Structure 1
Amino acid sequence: MKDYSILLYYCYTQIEDPEQFREEHHRLCLDLNLRGRIIIAAEGLNGTVSGLKEDCEKYMAAVKADPRFAKTDFKVDYSDKHAFAKLHVRHKPEIVHSSLRNIDPNKRTGIHLEPEEFKKMKDSEDVVILDVRSDYEFNVGRFKNAVTLPIENFRDFPAKVDELKEKYKDKKILTYCTGGIKCEKASAFLLEQGFENVYQLHGGIIKYGMEAGGEDFEGKCYVFDNRLTVDVNKVNPTVISQCYVCATPSDRMVNCANPSCNIHVAICESCGHEMQGACSEECKNHPEVRPYDGSGYYQKETNGYNPFKGLKRTKANA
């Protein structure tokens, strides 16, 4: 039995004093022994955290008890340990870096499709499935026949819309991402740019896997925690990525052992050991190459880590 929960969630809502809320939320997470990454902005809340099941239940209840976040949709997975080594609660201009700060998804966004609705629509002739994630994410897993964009970061998405207009303006556009947050602004931007029939997969790939079996999602889903990727498809799974070194089929995602490179690519187990976790001979022989433990994941140094860093008040003075 797995004792830990991993939560993925977001909520677009107005926060009047995000810095004050950041401090309050930071303290809540500390009290519940949570770890992970949380972003707070005037436009809302975005996070992925891990903790013991009972602590995560308390956290979800506390978040939803605040009327501003009552509609938050938590995607819950389970693990036998923490998915993070640290806790970071940060105040930023946006809850996802998009270069679309003028867009408020609460005013206008694409029609939300629940996983089963998305599953029924995705294969229609007048539909285009649009992946709004970065290239390293969709290279390891994506929906069958999805349109992907050569972008390294979501902030590059707006620059690709003119190309989409030329090919797909009269189609029904079904957008999707990992948990749904990017689609909120991506679909809204498509509507702003003149697309008329725009939809989004509510809860993203993760919820689709949990509620619709993940059918026709090919490969694995890239996630932003220690796991790197997770299985989604329980119906017709397949491997679409290739080993970066030898080009054999592999969905074993790793970070290059050279910290100056650190690219996220698929490397098979055999090449992983032969290359000692590096993506090339040059990286393998780099003077700062990290010891390879077979996982391909390199935890950032925790020396000197202070979970209370950033709080304006100590617990004793709270």
Structure 2
Amino acid sequence: MKHYQTLLYYCYSHIDNAEQFAADHLEFCKSLGLVGRIIVADEGLNGTVSGTPEACKAYMAAVHADPRFAKTDFKIDEVDEPSFIKMHCRYKSEIVHSGLRDPNVIDPTKETGKHLEPKAFLEMKDREDVVVLDVRSNYEHNVGRFKNAVTLDIENFREFPNKINELAQYKNKKILTYCTGGIKCEKASALLLKAGFKDVYQLHGGIIKYGKEVGGKDFEGKCYVFDNRVTVDVNRVNPTVVSTCLNCGTTTSRMINCANPECNEHFTQCEACGWKMEGCCSDTCMEHPRKRPYDGTGYYIKVPQPVNIEKISKRKHKKITAIPTARS
């Protein structure tokens, strides 16, 4: 029996004095004994929290009791242990960084792609007039994605607006966007509509809800999540492994953090290479003086990078795995 739960959720709804709300919300979460990470912005909430079933039930009830967040859709996972170590609730300019100079150009509360429930998404995704678009970052779709999905070479979502021109060839098709829990699709689909795409949809509740409601059919690999679990299984119908070890190319779904704290990025690495490379993604990281001891798990608490140290480029180390593209 699982003794804890992890909640994944978001809600686009205007918050007055959001910075103070974040401070008050942090204290509320701590009072319930929750751990997790919540982003608060003027435009809404984006969070993952973890705790006992009683604490999670109380948290969901409190959120739903606020008229601004009454329609929040919580994705609930039963877990063996809390998915975080501490509780963070921070104010930021956006709950998902859009990369736009003026983020008010789009407003997901007013115009966004049509929501598709998982069953409807499953029924539509293989049609000839449909393109399934993954709006997540490289490290996310490299470890798992929908069969035949179009993926974009982006390191983070704020690069998405600059990639829209690459999708022009699909303007006459139905665009089915998806992400982990749905939050990125709200902005991605709004940006596509702004760019002149006419028929844009989004998977409501994202990959996580799709796995829970229709068994995750045709989602290949694992789903990256933003907590200590790193990845979770989604597909109970026809599961496969699509990711490969960064170092040797062996098929593996194992994803870890680089042991070099100034790199610290997630990448896929088989167990053998993990011990051989001491949990590092490259020889350069292995030689770093601050390299952390490797214990076989490859999980570390991320530490801030000194501002005067140039971040190590991951691209020069990565082996690129072919990603399937949509049907023409």
Instruction: Calculate the TM-score normalised by the size of structure 2.
Output: 0.90
- The reply to whether residue 58 of structure 1 matches residue 61 of structure 2 is no
Deviation string 1:222-267 (CA, Å, 9 cap, x unpaired) is: 1110111000100101011110111010010011111122221110
Equivalent residue number for residue 234 of structure 2: 232
- Say whether 1:157 aligns with 2:163: no
**Cα distance in 2 between the residues matched to 1:19 and 1:281:** 42
Larger deviation, residues 55-64 vs 270-279: 270-279
Alignment of 1:1-318 (within 5 A): 1-100=1-100, 101-102=103-104, 103-165=106-168, 167-300=169-302
Q: Secondary structure at the match of 2:46?
A: strand
Structure 1: runs of 5+ lacking an equivalent: 302-318
Q: Distance in 1 between matches of 2:302 and 2:91?
A: 21
Aligned-partner residue type, residue 291 of structure 2: V
CA distance in 1, matches of 2:69, 2:278: 45
Q: Which AA in structure 2 matches 1:243?
A: C
- Aligned with 1:146: secondary structure? coil
Distance 1:152 1:99 in 2: 12
Contact 2:208 2:234 in 1 (8 A): yes
In the TM superposition, what is the alpha-carbon distance from 1:50 to its structure 2 partner? Answer: 0.6
Separation in structure 2 between the aligned mates of residue 183 and residue 220 of structure 1, nearest angstrom:
19
2-side partners of 1:234 and 1:242: how far apart? 21
1:300 Cα deviation after fit: 4.4
Give % identity: 68
How far is 1:15 from its partner? 0.9
Aligned length: 300
1:310 counterpart residue number: none
Per the TM alignment, residue 285 of structure 1 is displaced from its structure 2 partner at its CA by: 2.8
1:234 match: secondary structure: coil
Name 1:313's counterpart in structure 2.
none
Q: CA deviation at 1:99?
A: 2.5
Secondary structure of the structure 2 residue equivalent to 1:56? helix
State the AA in 2 paired with 1:15: I
Residues in 2 aligned to 1:66 and 1:15: alpha-carbon distance in whole angstroms: 11
How many Å separate the matches in 2 of 1:119 and 1:168? 20
Question: How much does 1:278 deviate?
Answer: 1.3
Question: In structure 2, do the counterparts of structure 1 residues 260 and 27 end up closer, same or farther at CA, with 3 Å as the change threshold?
Answer: closer
Quote the residue 2:312 is aligned against. Answer: none
Aligned match of 1:306: none
Question: What CA distance in whole angstroms lies between the structure 2 residues aligned with 1:120 and 1:217?
Answer: 14
Q: Which amino acid aligns with 1:141?
A: G
1:202 offset after TM fit, Å?
Answer: 0.3
Question: Using the alignment, how far apart are the partners of 1:193 and 1:23 within structure 2?
Answer: 37
Shift of 1:24: 2.2
C-alpha distance in 1 between matches for 2:88 and 2:251: 36
Q: Distance in 2 between matches of 1:84 and 1:75?
A: 16
- Point out 4+ residue stretches in structure 1 off by more than 6 angstroms: none
Quote how far apart the aligned CAs of 1:176 are.
0.3
Structure 2 residues without counterparts, runs of 5 or longer: 304-328
Q: CA deviation at 1:97?
A: 0.8
1:7-60 CA-to-partner distances (Å, cap 9, x unmatched) read 110000011111222122112101101111111111111101111111000000
Helix, strand or coil: the match of 1:64?
Answer: helix
Letter in 2 for 1:41: A
RMSD: 1.0
- CA drift of 1:113 comes to 0.3
Q: Specify whether residues 300 and 149 from structure 1 end up closer, same or farther in structure 2 by C-alpha distance, changes over 3 A only.
A: closer
Against the structure 1 CA distance between its residues 182 and 245, is the aligned structure 2 distance closer, same or farther, given a 3 Å change threshold?
same
Cα contact 2:34–2:50 (8 A) shared by 1:
yes
